[in-house]
Structure 1
Amino acid sequence: MIFEQVATGGCQSYLVGCSDTRVAALIDPEISQIDHYIALAARDGLRIRYLIDTHTHADHFSATRQLARQMGVPVVMHRASSALFVDMRIGDGEMVIVGKLRLQAIHTPGHTRDSMCLLVEDRLFTGDTLLIGATGRTDLPSGDPEALYDSLFDRLLRLDPDLKVFPAHDYKGHQSSTIGQEMATNPRLQKRDRAAFVEMMQNLNLSMPTHVTEALRTNLSGGKSVAQLLTEAAARVPFMSLDELKARVEAADEDLTILDVREREAYESGHIPGARLLPRGQLELRVNQELPDPTRLILACCELGYISTLAASTLREMGFLHTVALDGGMKGWREAGYPLTQGREA
């Protein structure tokens, strides 16, 4: 078996390949590591055949949908998943064949309704059902402490104690454990009475994941996160430096249109001399009126540079091919001590 473990903060993902046939499965991939996964597979001479999520993630953004589009391979999840883009839904006891490897699904609801673990040879990929020194939480959508108790004590903890445990999350730098070690040392697994376990899980009082709503939305629908939209927009848009813009402003460059895409209140509190106001929310509706010449050089600016990058990308898609965004935004302009004009447009 060819095995690669990739950590992204507390998230853990795994590339599991057959050394004879050079095909592989990628388990719980995270969106920011796409290039890393592809590079690892190329380095090891592997062709990724399956993209597997052990459950619907609520605290990070899955890369399965984007990789599926990019690589033309199926997304695999448990049949209880409601994600719209899943190509292969598997049930308890069913297997995904990866060369000479057999990845067997074990349905382990509790953290989420669609949670499953994957057993392959001497390894158990436990998703968020069983963590090292902990378990998955049960207070997120479709979580169920009663179901988690059954999944742990009636399923996983009855497996071979020597099985290596590889979870989807670990925040303390651990790479793996074993079923036996978790049974002996995991504090949550010492609550072996069902009622005591359920009471413990119901009173953990954990804070919500930072991006829970956005993560659930994108991981269920296959849509894009804000970070993805910004990354894609930035890849399509050139940028102008603060110093270059200052020089052009001082030279009264008549070939440049500076477009401030903030709201009016922010604009009037201080904007780049000569900048025109066109809030991002009105861009598509007013662009033909405000920008009649699509051949002009247009610079979009906002407070931090994020909204202006999206605006510049939109303008380029609409045919304003000489649109750029300000690198550093108005925050950078002010911090550099460059001139500001207050009030309405001249």
Structure 2
Amino acid sequence: MVFEQFATGGCQSYLVGCETSRAAVLIDPELSAIDRYLGLAAQQGVQIRYVIDTHTHADHFSAGRELGKALSAPLVMHRSSPAPHADMRLDDGDMLIVGQLRLKALHTPGHTQDSMCLVMEDRVFTGDTLLIGGTGRTDLPTGDPHALYESLFDKVLKLPPQTLVYPAHEYKGRSHSTIGAEMADNPRLQKTDRAAFVEMMQQLNLAAPTHLTEALRTNMTGGKSVAQLLAEAAAKTPFMSLAELNERIGGNSRDMVILDIREREAFEAGHIAGARHLPRGQLELRVNTEFPDPTVRIVTCCELGKISTLAAATLRELGFRRAVALDGGMQSWREAGYPLEM
């Protein structure tokens, strides 16, 4: 069996393949690690047949949709997943066949309504249902401590004690556990009485995950994250360095316009000499009157260099093919000691 485990922060992803057929599945991929998955699959000589999300993640951005499109492989989720872009939906007990491998889905709601575990030979991929030394939280959207109790004690913990446990998250550097070890040592599993377990889960008082609403929005709808939008804009936009722009100021730059897209208060507090002001929110509405010549060279700038990247990409899509973004933004300009005009 081909088996590779990826750690991206606390997120755990798994590439599992059949040595004979070289077919594989990728479980719980994270958006920032797409190139790592593709590189290792190529290195291992396997073809990813299915991309699987064990549940709707609330603490990171799933790469399921992007990888599914790139690989022409179906994105697999549980039947109750809200994601409209899931290509294949599994019911409790359904099985995926990948070469000589068999992966059986167990519907294990509790952390989320669509949570499922994947049982394969000597191991189980538990998503966020069962963690090493813990369990998934139940206070996020569609979470239910009663359902989690049933999923754990009536399903997952009835697997053989020697079954290897591979969760979707692990923050202490451990690679895996076993069902037997978790039953013996996991403090949350010592609450074997339903009422005691539910009370414990309701009193955890955990902090909300970073990017909670954005992660849920993108993972539930297939929409894009802000980081994706910025990365896509940066991929099709050239940049100008701070030093290059500073050298060009005051020179023969009649065909170059510095366009400051911050709000007026920020612009008036200090801007690059000769810059014109056009807030980002008005760009599309005023660009034709402000710039009748589409061949003009436009250098966009904002505070941190992110909104200006989006603006430059928009200008290029509108036909201003010489639009570029200032690398670093006004914060970097000030820190470098370049002059400002009030």
Q: TM-score, normalised by structure 1?
A: 0.98
1:115 corresponds to: 115
2:90 corresponds to: 90
Q: Which runs of 4+ in 1 moved over 6 A?
A: none
Partner Cα separation in structure 1 for residue 116 and residue 207 of structure 2 = 24
Partner Cα separation in structure 1 for residue 226 and residue 82 of structure 2 = 22
Letter of the 2:104 counterpart: Q
- Post-superposition shift, 1:147? 0.4
1:230 corresponds to: 230
Letter of the 2:153 counterpart: F
1:241 corresponds to: 241
1:104-134, CA deviations, whole angstroms, 9 ceiling, x for partnerless residues?
0000000000000001111100000000000
- Post-superposition shift, 1:71? 1.6
1:137 corresponds to: 137
- Post-superposition shift, 1:164? 0.5
1:318 corresponds to: 318
Letter of the 1:274 counterpart: G
1:67-112, CA deviations, whole angstroms, 9 ceiling, x for partnerless residues?
1122211110000111110110011111011111011000000000
| 1:24 aligned onto 2:24 | yes
2:147 corresponds to: 147
Gaps of 5+ in 1: none
1:289-316, CA deviations, whole angstroms, 9 ceiling, x for partnerless residues?
1111111111000000000000011111
Partner Cα separation in structure 2 for residue 252 and residue 281 of structure 1 = 30
1:212-265, CA deviations, whole angstroms, 9 ceiling, x for partnerless residues?
100011001111000000011111111110000000014252121101111111
Letter of the 2:35 counterpart: D
| 1:255 aligned onto 2:248 | no
- Post-superposition shift, 1:4? 0.6
Quote the RMSD (CA, aligned, Å): 0.7
Partner Cα separation in structure 2 for residue 96 and residue 103 of structure 1 = 5
Q: Secondary structure at the match of 1:312?
A: helix
Letter of the 2:214 counterpart: E
Q: Secondary structure at the match of 1:124?
A: strand
Q: 251-260 or 103-112, which moves further after superposition?
A: 251-260
Letter of the 2:41 counterpart: A
Gaps of 5+ in 2: none
Letter of the 1:165 counterpart: V
Percent identity, aligned pairs only, is 70
Q: How does 1:184-203 map to 2 (within 5 A)?
A: 184-203=184-203
Letter of the 1:200 counterpart: M
2:270 corresponds to: 270
Q: How does 1:1-346 map to 2 (within 5 A)?
A: 1-251=1-251, 253-342=253-342
Letter of the 1:63 counterpart: A
Aligned length: 342
Q: Secondary structure at the match of 2:148?
A: helix
Q: Secondary structure at the match of 2:227?
A: helix
Q: Secondary structure at the match of 1:259?
A: strand
Partner Cα separation in structure 2 for residue 132 and residue 250 of structure 1 = 62
Q: Secondary structure at the match of 2:249?
A: helix
Partner Cα separation in structure 2 for residue 281 and residue 50 of structure 1 = 41
Q: TM-score, normalised by structure 2?
A: 0.99
Letter of the 2:160 counterpart: D
